[in-house]
Amino acid sequence: MRTAAVVGTGLIGTSVALALTAQGVTVYLRDTDVTAVRTAAALGGGLAETPPGPVDLAVLAVPPARIGATLRQCQQADLAHSYTDVGSVKEQPLRDIEELGCDVARYIGGHPLAGRERSGPLAARADLFDGRPWVLTPSKETDTETLNRALEMVALCRAVPVVMEPRAHDHAVALVSHAPHLVSALMAARLEGAADTATRLAGQGVRDVTRIAGSDPGLWIEILGANATAVADVLAGLADDLGETIAALRALAAEDEAKRSGGVDGVTGILRRGNAGHARIPGKHGAPAARYEAVPVVVGDQPGELARLFADVGASAVNIEDITIDHSPGRPAGLIELMVDPAAAEGLVHDLRRKGWNVQR
């Protein structure tokens, strides 16, 4: 691939442009927002000009509802030999494309499963897709050359290609992305009218659950609107589970021993199902989920403290598999949980304490 065009210079589009440019591809940028194009170009994402002829591949980084119309415009202008998109739903855009009479053979749906809470070109990163799944959804008409160009683009962005049917993709993302976003928003909405004395107690648990609730509602209404049925199906199952869990919790508060015992069984059952589901989430690099041990360390909120901690862990020849930070309310400190191989945990605790770290273990 020598040339590409990116239509839409928000977070994802500009990140694609930066990744391709870093691999030596000449990228041409388009957007109805002139400022966004100029920003993406200034960041090194490519050229804010019209290509002299059709590029190898055009990436349509526009909302799902606009993919069909944008593809038709680009094909009428002969912008590229092949086209893909980065929309988070695939069935509805494909139907739009077919109804608009686009050349479906030269189009393949795409969806990189990567993003950030921030939006816009200034939030873009060339390494945003490193090691992340990038779903490609060829239709029955998609030609081999278009599939190969899309696969090459995914490789240049250092992502991992996953080929799926459009419907299977939409049901999968409803389960692992779209429904969780709404659940996060619903939980965060419980905090809107909460007393300050309650929100001051917020710890890492509620922060984890509500982290993605800060995303742009305008973008998400388009995503959810294009995949509403699949998301509703997931939430309907969740609603059934919630109803059973509420009944079990009510039983836990009952004076009758038999009811209380049934409540224990009900709540225990949902927690165990949660354990089983959580265990199915892939671990690092797509490997089966591994069990790590937490080493909690109190770190002062001063410049260089986190770097010093990491350096001391590295000096102990221990690899940090994961990390969480729980900020202490009212104190200039945070609790850092270093997730490490269980076999290395005790030795690391000894080394860190010897170097003066406050290990909470």
Domain ranges of the chain: 3-164, 172-279, 293-359
CATH of 293-359, one of 3.40.50.10490, 3.90.660.10, 3.30.540.10, 3.30.70.260: 3.30.70.260
Half-sphere exposure of 278 (CA within 13 A, CB side): 8
Tokens 């009758």 belong to: 256
Angle between helices 257-279 and 228-252 (to 10 degrees): 140
pLDDT at 286: 61
pLDDT at 109: 97
pLDDT at 117: 65
Alpha helix (H) ranges present in the chain? Answer: 11-22, 34-42, 67-76, 91-99, 144-156, 166-173, 179-189, 196-199, 204-210, 217-226, 228-252, 257-279, 305-315, 342-354
CATH of 172-279, one of 2.40.280.10, 3.90.1330.10, 1.10.3660.10, 1.10.8.80: 1.10.3660.10
How many other CB atoms are there within 10 angstroms of residue 325's CB atom? 12
Q: Is 252 exposed, middle or buried (0-12, 13-18, 19+ CB in 10 A)?
A: middle
CA distance 85 to 7: 9
pLDDT at 330: 63
Retrieve residue 133's tokens.
Answer: 């799944």
| pLDDT mean by block of 10 residues, the chain; 361 residues | 97 96 97 95 96 98 94 98 95 94 97 82 93 94 97 97 95 93 94 90 84 84 88 96 95 91 94 91 67 90 91 94 79 86 93 94 79
List Cα–Cα distances, 55 to 75, 289, 324, 349, in angstroms.
12, 41, 43, 56
SS3 292: coil
Q: Residues 136, 147: contact at Cβ < 8 Å? A: yes
CA distance 284 to 295: 19
Provide the CATH number for the domain formed by 3-164 in this structure.
3.40.50.720
CA distance 188 to 64: 26
Amino acid identity for residue 326 in this structure: D
Q: Is 153 exposed, middle or buried (0-12, 13-18, 19+ CB in 10 A)?
A: buried
Residues 6+ apart with CB under 8 A from 179: 231, 234, 235, 238
